Amino acid sequence: MPPETPDSDGSSGLSGPLTYAASGVDTDAAAAGLASLLAWVGPTMDFREGIGKPLVPNGFFANVLRMSDRLSLAISTDGVGSKSAVAQMMGSYEGIGWDCVAVNVNDVICTGAEPMALVDYISLQQPHADLLGPLGKGLHDGAKRAGVAIVGGELSQHPDTLAGPREGYAFDISGTCVGVLDGLAPITGSTVTPGDVVIALPSNGVHANGLTLARHVLLRDGRTAETMLDECGLSIGDELLRPVHIYVPEAVEVLRAGVAVKGLAHISGDGLLNLLRLDAEGG
């Protein structure tokens, strides 16, 4: 594995408070910026009636579009964030391809729709085969686990605008996933009431959110991605690169069994605050 270049991504050897703000992520500015964006994007929800009409409020894990009296199409898009920087430090990219599938199918399944297909977008500094090959392998394996087809994508070179901890290997990857609801209304949490049973499935690591803060916390005081963590028996880099668990098989099994599922939540960037996305009665 190639050695990490200290401080090349603004994380290694940092000191100071262990906060998002100290790691360079301004959550207040992000909220204000998002509000400015949604002021224009939000009203487009009213642009479609009939076929293509959105059935779920904006801001849910995925939206659902009416296709016919029986069929609806769920759609969501997401990326892996700054986890790609850790992959560059470690020269390990396969898990990132898997993660691109995971973060999207895990959002779509929250509507009760079964994920069907995904398209990916990869922007990179240079098109290295030893980067793209493992990314492709990860996409393949993640798609197999989720039961989706990868039906297209886009590869875009940005040598002047992308930079990362390993020169020439800077990249970002995101995807868009669609799923189908056949004869069923989307699950939004609107019927959740006090006394309902809550089932939580465990995560298998940091997943693909909060990596900027995680790197700020762990890659400091001389530690690098190769530094071993006694608590888990892995290096910092390997621990942060644990692939996101794909929950689709478990969720589909429950839904097909006829369990009266009232709400599904993908616990990602906002942690347990993601439960607030559920449109629960009295919530």
Higher-confidence residue of 45 and 2: namely: 45
What pLDDT is attached to residue 273?
Answer: 80
What pLDDT is attached to residue 209?
Answer: 81
pLDDT digits (tens, 9 = 90+) for 167-212: 999 999 999 999 999 999 999 999 999 999 999 998 888 888 888 8
What pLDDT is attached to residue 24?
Answer: 64
**Does residue 165 lie in a domain region?**
yes
**Does residue 69 lie in a domain region?**
yes
**Does residue 197 lie in a domain region?**
yes
Would you place residue 15 in the very low, low, confident or very high pLDDT band (cuts 50, 70, 90)?
A: low
The mean pLDDT value for 85-102 works out to 96
**Does residue 7 lie in a domain region?**
no
What pLDDT is attached to residue 89?
Answer: 92
What pLDDT is attached to residue 123?
Answer: 97
Q: Which of 96, 84, 86 is nearest to 12 (CA)?
A: 86
Query: Torsion angle, CA of 20/21/27/29, rounded to 10 degrees?
Result: -160
The mean pLDDT value for 149-162 works out to 96
Our count of domains for the chain comes to 1
Q: How far apart are CA 23 and CA 105, in angstroms?
A: 29
Would you place residue 282 in the very low, low, confident or very high pLDDT band (cuts 50, 70, 90)?
A: very low
**pTM for this entry:** 0.87
pLDDT digits (tens, 9 = 90+) for 204-263: 888 888 888 888 888 888 898 899 988 888 999 999 999 999 999 999 999 999 899 999
**Does residue 256 lie in a domain region?**
yes
Would you place residue 2 in the very low, low, confident or very high pLDDT band (cuts 50, 70, 90)?
A: very low
State the residue range of the domain holding 69. 48-277
Q: How does the average pLDDT of the chain come out, rounded?
A: 88
What pLDDT is attached to residue 59?
Answer: 87
**Does residue 27 lie in a domain region?**
no
Q: How far apart are CA 41 and CA 83, in angstroms?
A: 28
Residue count of the chain, please give it: 283
* C-beta separation of 74 from 108 below 8 A: yes
**Does residue 8 lie in a domain region?**
no
DSSP 173-242: EEEEEEEEEES-PPP-STT--TT-----PPPSSSTTSSHHHHHHHHS-TT--TT-EETTTTEEHHHHHTP
Question: The domain spanning residue 260 has which CATH number?
Answer: 3.30.1330.10
* C-beta separation of 140 from 44 below 8 A: no
What pLDDT is attached to residue 22?
Answer: 61
The mean pLDDT value for 17-44 works out to 80
What pLDDT is attached to residue 43?
Answer: 95
Residues of the chain with pLDDT > 90, as a percent, come to 66
Is pLDDT at 132 greater than 70 in this prediction?
yes
Lowest mean pLDDT among 19-23, 27-31, 232-236, 270-274: 19-23
What pLDDT is attached to residue 283?
Answer: 41
* C-beta separation of 223 from 236 below 8 A: yes
**Does residue 33 lie in a domain region?**
no
